[in-house]
Structure 1
């Protein structure tokens, strides 16, 4: 019989009931026909071996460790294969097994095919089986079955759906392997005499390869539908038929959730295969100069080789079973069955991806594009702390994926994913922190650690399909086209999950849980005894993986608890004490006339600014939650800068008084008011310029957030530097005067100050210089351990009592304050020194009471 006759026979064979006729033939050959009666020249033996034999259609998957210890995924796939191929779930043959039925007619047609034409017959059979299934004629159409207690407990309905789904999975599996074999039978032979013929053959090659991946995507789409429908009744047969009605209701709900997880994972596979078919047009074929008669196939980065990075397990960790144990006692069996179904398809499609290289390895040299990008294991990004806290909490306290999350929590996760993606796009390696609120808003995180946290945080990226080709495409768009995010395939909500997966697998050597093995043997019987040497990716061993994940989990703990709940009462107490003492200091300066001079008014303005800052950030924002956090950070940073500029004015007045030998009390009230207005103008002009620049940068674009913080930080730094210059000049003038007095041999037995006064002056100098503000900001920049920064924040709340002690409780102000308070109770009791009517009389009395040893010696 000629090949045209073989084709006609196969077409006629599959015309009635598609591949069900072949299943009928297999049933007949295995149960009716005596195996010893099959002649060597009969095609029935070929049919029985290459189509009916289960082992022929099952990949012989060998790991790189040993055959005695296969990976859990392969073991799960084997268990499911045995159940699907050897269980009693399959329906009886459609054409009838007896003579006179459709099966007998099919056998009659097969016997007319000579055994010498078996190769043409197998080729046509493989291709026709795949085409028949791609057109959905080999499997029944299924509606999405809504399982409930009634439908599951109805044995006839359950067994019917279960049988149909299992039978469909078996047929689809055969179609998958048949499509691979069809490609092997009809692979393109590169024979050319000139460049035009080579390009023509390359065009045929591209079309066939693109069609190959489209067909596999269609088959997998069918398989995903039937595998999802198979999950619930198959699980009920295994574990759910002994539960009570109340338990069964919760069991069905949980199984539907596991079914959604499985469908999401398989959807990622379908997307990958569809994208692989579209990438074929970017392949390049050229003549191999080093190997005459051979060609070089140059594949882009986005090609089917990325399919090997697809995960081997449905759940990212076995802890799912432990997490859901309290909710569902049979959670382990639920996830185990879903993992087996997923691994079943994962093993089959691993072979389809790897055999593409094996088809042309003798004549075609495959060169894959390398992603020319350095390792990103040490890159850092500034991201939103609330989202990082959400990721850390999800890692530290994972929830069972079967639980119903509140709608608010779901929206929070989606908003967090979108916010994280915005932060990643901004690419800010470090944003200067100018306030504690700014520290709670932004945190510097390692890029690879952030990707690991996003991928492994249960529930954060669980509903995003894992499409490896799409992930690499998005990651390449992110790295190579930072200003053109329109090239992303993922939307803004899913982009952080997509890019994180690619970054973690391809660009983070220190964070990758996958390693590459070369020259691992992969022999498969269904590929016509055509073994191949391929490279295999496998996950780390179980113990090593656990240690690896534990180390990364521990690395996230330093981003945990930015605000310590146990210290919240202490923080509130410190804030109240700070506010009380600052108000007390301001009240004293407003109450005492002696402190209403120019330096006193400037220091009072400094106190009022500090009080406003505390009320805005620590009271209004924390209690009322208004304004929003970025605006609150702007206000807090601006007030921090204003306090520094007030200190500039105060330090300059100190320098001017000493420089011109003019005490503040010698100014008239009108002159004090005029100078104070001038000082206020000098303070607000530079402050307004810096604040307007920062607000304009931050409000114009979120990408200028770092620049706005740098402007504010630069203003604070310049202000503190000015204070240090003024204080340094004061110290320099004191040393010069002291040296001059010694040269004039003017001797005084009075000390400059007591130890207590020296301590007070040192503390005042630190406060007035603003070094404390820079120290606080410096600790925030370090951001090593969150608790330490929190302690620094608590320490800044002690500034109020320190200011009160240093500027009120001293030898000058405290006696005056005490006397004024005593006059409230006894107005007639005038303390000594206050009964005189003028300052001149008080000075004269003080001079008369003093006896200068120097004057006596000079007389």
Structure 2
């Protein structure tokens, strides 16, 4: 037969409604109607022999168990390929027409003509299917109870979609073989007289190569698009056949509703695969071909970061069967079968289409040295970020109390997830590795989280990104934009609501080695029978779903629990009790200082101001904010931090007055009331000036821009640290003066048998020194910086509520104040019972009485 006859044979094969003649030929071969010559089998082998296509697809060709994805893909392939082929058309056995005519013409071909026909046949089959002539036009069937229970309609749709998927799959294989047999040859390497090609020649051939490769990937994308449509259409009727027709009408109605949700989940994931494949075809124009400098006559193919290699990072499973079936069992008893079938369809596409998209690389491995662009970014496994605690709490709650994805979330919950995605993205863009915590309220506002752990929490199956579609190329594009353009986020492909999900997926898969469950198998070998018994050796990325991986994911879940319960509900009664006791004792201490005249000296007024400030802080943060919910949390943190700083500055004034009294040997009781008032007004002015400056700076920074939050907290923390340092200096000077005086007395040999103080008094003075120095505030704030476990920080917050009783005991229940207070209280009950020392109204009358008592014995003796 002449070449024209070969193409006439091809035309005959494809004349009757696309590839229907080939289906007819396969039916005859399967039924044994025609003798199967080797030449005939060679032509139709890739089209008819389909059962073994997945046998050679495995992780590494080793003795280890195949991955669940491979088993699922094989299981579904058997199900699709077991559907009956259409019967041979009537009169098909007539010589020269239909199937018989096609078979007769094939038998008369020579070997060269057979191979020529084989090449042309592969290309024409793919082109025919891309033009949608190999599959019928399919409308998106809305399944209801009537349609599902109508056996003829359901079987017709299932058979039609199964044949469509099978034909699309065969067309895909044919397209791969077509490209393999007609791939671009760089002719200069095969010339008898080798010479270095000119730059123009090389680039011209490179342009042809890029166009062919781009066309190849576009064709695969179109075939995948057809496959997604028909595979999604198969899900509902196939699941119904698995379930059986034994459910009641009410159960079936709920099942259909849930099955549509699973279908939407599957279609969303497969559609994003299609987007990745389409995007990779557009990136081919950025491929660069150049000569390898170290090896003459060898070429380098440089691919950009956003190339088809990113398809390997697509998840291997729908992540539904293992995680969702148990959650949805109560709602839907058939959930396991529903998700299992969806997993099969997903695995079929993951194994089949992605492997097909990558397979073309093997045809050019002898022509090019493929060099992929590396993402120049270090491992981010140990990077930390300061983020909103409410959103972290939401992520932790989703992990701790997962919900079935078939359930409709309340509208408020959906809006809360969207708000958290926006808030977390703002936090990630802000890139604050650590925002100082100046109060317990600030701790409940911000928390430091590992970047990779945050990404895992966001994109896991129960996280806030569950309803956001996953595109690997878009994620990597957004992540590179985030890291390479920190001040300009206009290059993002995702919107502000979905950006955290997109970037988190890329970071987790590519830049978090300690958080990735994806394994790499090097030098893996697999044989694909559908591709022509070709053996390929390359590295494969896969998710190893072993017990080790499960334990690893459980450890990640456990790692998030330290961010759980920033406030422990079970301890709420204890917290209210501690706050109430603290407020009562602080009011009691302030009342004693207001009531006793002896305590209304300059240090007493300063200490009273300190107490009033602390009472105001507790009322604002623990009562008004906690109970009334006003003001908002950032404003409450500002008020709480400002009052903490003000209390520290009051302690500065108190400690300085202690130092001044000892330094100048002038006790506070020796000051006149007018002088006390004048000095107190001056102290108030000295306190308010630095406090106002710090507060204005803090408010200006925080209210101007959210990016200055870290600076506002640093200003407050710096003010508190300087204030506490000043207190320590004053107390240190007091201790130094005491030691110097004691040393001087010993040199003068002045010995006093009286001790400086008793053990009880030393204990009281030590506690007073810690309180007055503000060291407890620094310790509390420093403990909050660790932010290791929320419960321990909460316990520390509860412990700080006992400061009120401690202040009352140390500053009221002592040997000086308590007796005076006791006598005053006793006078309330019995005004006539005047204690010793309080019989007269003034010190002058007591001195006169004492002098009269001393003169009385002398007068009597003289008489």
- What's the counterpart of residue 492 of structure 1? 496
- What's the counterpart of residue 168 of structure 2? 172
- Residue 490 of structure 2 aligns to a residue whose secondary structure is helix
- Residue 533 of structure 1 aligns to a residue whose secondary structure is strand
Kindly indicate whether the alpha-carbon contact (under 8 Å) linking 2:399 and 2:463 is maintained by their aligned counterparts in 1: no
- Residue 520 of structure 2 aligns to a residue whose secondary structure is strand
Question: For structure 1, which segment, 654-663 or 746-755, has the greater mean C-alpha deviation from structure 2 after superposition?
Answer: 746-755
Kindly indicate whether the alpha-carbon contact (under 8 Å) linking 2:315 and 2:543 is maintained by their aligned counterparts in 1: no
- What's the counterpart of residue 853 of structure 1? none
Kindly indicate whether the alpha-carbon contact (under 8 Å) linking 1:381 and 1:446 is maintained by their aligned counterparts in 2: yes
- What's the counterpart of residue 703 of structure 2? 699
- Residue 485 of structure 1 aligns to a residue whose secondary structure is coil
Root-mean-square deviation (CA, aligned residues, Å) is 2.6
Kindly indicate whether the alpha-carbon contact (under 8 Å) linking 2:457 and 2:463 is maintained by their aligned counterparts in 1: no
- What's the counterpart of residue 857 of structure 1? none
- Residue 382 of structure 1 aligns to a residue whose secondary structure is strand
- What's the counterpart of residue 586 of structure 2? 582
Kindly indicate whether the alpha-carbon contact (under 8 Å) linking 1:398 and 1:457 is maintained by their aligned counterparts in 2: no
- What's the counterpart of residue 563 of structure 1? 567
Equivalent of 1:815, from 811, 819, 828? 819
Equivalent of 1:224, from 213, 224, 228? 228
State yes or no: 1:81 paired with 2:77.
Answer: yes
Equivalent of 2:66, from 67, 70, 91? 70
Change (3 A) 1:111 1:716: same
CA deviations on 1:32-73 (whole Å, 9 max, x unpaired) are 73225x5x67xx544432322224765730222636732211
Give me the whole-angstrom Cα distance separating, in 2, the residues matched to 1:721 and 1:240. Answer: 77
- Residue 535 of structure 1 aligns to a residue whose secondary structure is strand
Change (3 A) 1:157 1:324: same
- What's the counterpart of residue 337 of structure 2? 333
Kindly indicate whether the alpha-carbon contact (under 8 Å) linking 2:67 and 2:544 is maintained by their aligned counterparts in 1: no
Q: 1:376-387 to 2 correspondence within 5 Å?
A: 376-387=380-391
Give me the whole-angstrom Cα distance separating, in 1, the residues matched to 2:212 and 2:459. Answer: 35
- What's the counterpart of residue 140 of structure 2? 144
Q: TM-score, normalising length from structure 2?
A: 0.93
State yes or no: 1:357 paired with 2:361.
Answer: yes
State yes or no: 1:153 paired with 2:144.
Answer: no
Question: How far is the alpha carbon of 1:448 from its aligned partner?
Answer: 1.8
Q: 1:415-814 to 2 correspondence within 5 Å?
A: 415-814=419-818
CA deviations on 1:406-434 (whole Å, 9 max, x unpaired) are 22222222222222222222221111111
Question: How far is the alpha carbon of 1:820 from its aligned partner?
Answer: 2.6
Change (3 A) 1:68 1:440: closer
Question: For structure 1, which segment, 471-480 or 261-270, has the greater mean C-alpha deviation from structure 2 after superposition?
Answer: 471-480
- Residue 487 of structure 1 aligns to a residue whose secondary structure is coil
Give me the whole-angstrom Cα distance separating, in 2, the residues matched to 1:344 and 1:394. Answer: 30
- Residue 83 of structure 1 aligns to a residue whose secondary structure is helix
Question: For structure 1, which segment, 769-778 or 696-705, has the greater mean C-alpha deviation from structure 2 after superposition?
Answer: 696-705
State yes or no: 1:405 paired with 2:409.
Answer: yes
- What's the counterpart of residue 114 of structure 1? 109
State yes or no: 1:189 paired with 2:193.
Answer: no
- Residue 63 of structure 1 aligns to a residue whose secondary structure is coil
Kindly indicate whether the alpha-carbon contact (under 8 Å) linking 1:309 and 1:537 is maintained by their aligned counterparts in 2: yes
Change (3 A) 1:833 1:6: farther
- What's the counterpart of residue 207 of structure 2? 203
Change (3 A) 1:747 1:402: same
Give structure 2 stretches of 5+ with no counterpart.
Answer: 189-196, 855-863
Give me the whole-angstrom Cα distance separating, in 2, the residues matched to 1:58 and 1:333. Answer: 23
Change (3 A) 1:34 1:21: closer
Give me the whole-angstrom Cα distance separating, in 2, the residues matched to 1:96 and 1:677. Answer: 115
Question: How far is the alpha carbon of 1:583 from its aligned partner?
Answer: 1.3
Give me the whole-angstrom Cα distance separating, in 1, the residues matched to 2:91 and 2:683. Answer: 105
Give me the whole-angstrom Cα distance separating, in 1, the residues matched to 2:177 and 2:846. Answer: 114
Kindly indicate whether the alpha-carbon contact (under 8 Å) linking 2:28 and 2:34 is maintained by their aligned counterparts in 1: no
Give me the whole-angstrom Cα distance separating, in 2, the residues matched to 1:811 and 1:391. Answer: 55
Question: How far is the alpha carbon of 1:346 from its aligned partner?
Answer: 1.0
CA deviations on 1:293-326 (whole Å, 9 max, x unpaired) are 3311011222111211111111167132222222
Question: How far is the alpha carbon of 1:436 from its aligned partner?
Answer: 0.6
Give me the whole-angstrom Cα distance separating, in 1, the residues matched to 2:148 and 2:130. Answer: 30
Kindly indicate whether the alpha-carbon contact (under 8 Å) linking 1:13 and 1:109 is maintained by their aligned counterparts in 2: no
Give me the whole-angstrom Cα distance separating, in 2, the residues matched to 1:796 and 1:304. Answer: 58
- Residue 54 of structure 1 aligns to a residue whose secondary structure is coil
Give me the whole-angstrom Cα distance separating, in 1, the residues matched to 2:607 and 2:129. Answer: 85
Runs of 4+ in 1 over 6 A off after TM superposition: 93-96, 843-850
Change (3 A) 1:62 1:751: closer
Question: How far is the alpha carbon of 1:16 from its aligned partner?
Answer: 4.7
Change (3 A) 1:624 1:457: farther
CA deviations on 1:524-576 (whole Å, 9 max, x unpaired) are 12223332211112323512212222222222222222222222211110011
Give me the whole-angstrom Cα distance separating, in 2, the residues matched to 1:95 and 1:130. Answer: 27
- What's the counterpart of residue 127 of structure 2? 131
Give me the whole-angstrom Cα distance separating, in 1, the residues matched to 2:812 and 2:519. Answer: 68
Give me the whole-angstrom Cα distance separating, in 2, the residues matched to 1:428 and 1:240. Answer: 56
Kindly indicate whether the alpha-carbon contact (under 8 Å) linking 1:394 and 1:457 is maintained by their aligned counterparts in 2: no
Give me the whole-angstrom Cα distance separating, in 1, the residues matched to 2:67 and 2:35. Answer: 36
- Residue 298 of structure 1 aligns to a residue whose secondary structure is strand
